[in-house]
Structure 1
């Protein structure tokens, strides 16, 4: 896989994660649950980091 294709896949994954966050954040903010917000943001960040790791280090 070329580096350009890996970057395109990673950008699409990030866009999907951000779209999911935008969809769910108003519900979390309405509930005023800080721990749920922290958990959602942390899991999204770890998913993006994991996808980058897999794309660039596992799939040569």
Structure 2
């Protein structure tokens, strides 16, 4: 699942969710076979990544 949020300052934030760490690993391993991936990442500035666990979803 992916969520894209426009923040009050006009910038965007996204959240990507995988059911398992193995699914995340497979997605990361597949990046080189998708030519769109580097093009998309070129649009990103000051990217960070954080891992966490969902504790409540309403």
TM-score grouping bracket, smaller chain normalisation: under 0.3
Of Structure 1 and Structure 2, which has the larger fraction of its residues in helix?
1
